[in-house]
């Protein structure tokens, strides 16, 4: 049973370009969460999605960031017009839903903005 898959593992973008990060949840998991870890900090929640629905986006910056989890295919975190401060590790997690279920994390995408 494959775990949470994220790609690419490393992404380098110049300031002003777009970054697209992909996440495929574990088989049987319908809940996806995105977190960001800045250097020397803990993980910060960004957004929680179920298929075709954004459930909680309280941690998403108001501009340039968007997320989707379509009916078919992976969840996508999109960052438009990247700036140096977007450089971080972005982690996706999934859970099967229900109460108290643990979230299982992917290996992360390390975004570097030059």
Partner 1 sequence: DQQVKQNSPSLSVQEGRISILNCDYTNSMFDYFLWYKKYPAEGPTFLISISSIKDKNEDGRFTVFLNKSAKHLSLHIVPSQPGDSAVYFCAATYYFGNEKLTFGTGTRLTIIP
Residues in contact with partner 1 by the rule CB under 8 A: 4, 6, 31, 33, 35, 41-45, 48, 55-56, 58-59, 91, 93, 95, 97-108, 110
Question: What's the closest the beta carbon of residue 26 comes to partner 1, in angstroms?
Answer: 12
What is the Cα–Cα distance from 70 to 62, expressed in whole angstroms?
Answer: 21
Cβ closest to partner 1, residue 13 vs residue 108: 108
Q: Which is nearer to partner 1, 55 or 83 (CB)?
A: 55
| 87 CB-contact burial (10 Å; exposed 0-12 / middle 13-18 / buried 19+) | middle
Backbone angles phi, psi at 56, to 5 degrees: -150, 115
Residue whose structure tokens are 């973008």:
13
Q: Which two tokens stand for residue 61?
A: 């910056």
Of 59 and 74, nearer to partner 1 (C-beta) is 59
Residue among 8 and 16 whose Cβ is closer to partner 1: 8
Residue 85 C-beta: closest distance to partner 1, Å: 19
User: How far, in Å, CA of 15 to CA of 65, rounded?
Assistant: 15
- Smallest gap from residue 5 Cβ to partner 1 (A): 11
CB of 39 to partner 1, least distance (A): 12
Report the C-alpha gap between 25 and 2 in whole angstroms. 9
């Amino acid at each position: 049973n494959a775990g949470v898959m994220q790609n690419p593992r490393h992404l380098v973008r110049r300031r002003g370009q777009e970054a697209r990060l992909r996440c495929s949840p574990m088989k049987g998991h319908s809940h996806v969460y995105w977190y960001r870890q800045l250097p020397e900090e803990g993980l910060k929640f960004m957004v929680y999605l179920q298929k075709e629905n954004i459930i909680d986006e309280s941690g998403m910056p108001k501009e340039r960031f968007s997320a989707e989890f379509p009916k078919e295919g992976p969840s996508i975190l999109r960052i438009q017009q990247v700036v140096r401060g977007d450089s971080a590790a972005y982690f996706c997690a999934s859970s099967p839903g229900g109460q108290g279920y643990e979230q299982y994390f992917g290996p992360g995408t390390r975004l570097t903005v030059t």
